[in-house]
Amino acid sequence: MFSYRHAFHAGNHADVLEHTVLIATLDHLLEKEAALTVVDTHAGAGLYRLDGDYAGTSGEAADGVLRLLSDKKEPAAPAPAAKSATKKVAAETEAPLADAIARYLAVIGDFNPKGGARVYPGSPFIVQHLLRDHDKLKLFELHPTDARTLDANIAQLEAGRQIAVLREDGFGSATKFLPPPSRRALVLMDPSYEMKTDYGRVLDFTAEALKRFATGTYAVWYPIIPRPEAHDLPRRLKTMATKAGKSWLHATLTVKSSKITKDAASGETHRPGLPASGMFLINPPYTLKPLLAAALPQLVQRLGQDRNAAFSLDSGG
- Tell me the catalytic residues: 190
- Give the Cα-Cα-Cα angle 50, 255, 301 (nearest 5 degrees): 95
- Give the Cα-Cα-Cα angle 241, 246, 250 (nearest 5 degrees): 60
**Cα gap 98→103, rounded to integer Å:** 9
**Cα gap 96→191, rounded to integer Å:** 33
Closest CA relative to residue 70, chosen from 108, 33, 32: 108
**Cα gap 248→242, rounded to integer Å:** 8
Question: Which element (helix H / strand E) includes 222?
Answer: strand 217-224
Altogether, the residues listed in the chain come to a count of 317
The per-residue b/e assignment along 206-237, b for 16 or more CB within 10 angstroms, e otherwise, is beebbeebeebbbbbbbbbeeeebbeebbebb
**Cα gap 280→273, rounded to integer Å:** 22
Closest CA relative to residue 206, chosen from 198, 226, 122: 198
Q: Check if the beta carbon of residue 11 is closer than 8 Å to that of residue 48.
A: yes
Q: Check if the beta carbon of residue 126 is closer than 8 Å to that of residue 107.
A: yes
Closest CA relative to residue 191, chosen from 208, 213, 176, 169: 169
What DSSP line would sit under 82-119, residue for residue? -GGGHHHHHHHHHSPPPHHHHHHHHHHHHT-TTSS-SE
> Hey, is 24 helix, strand or coil?
helix
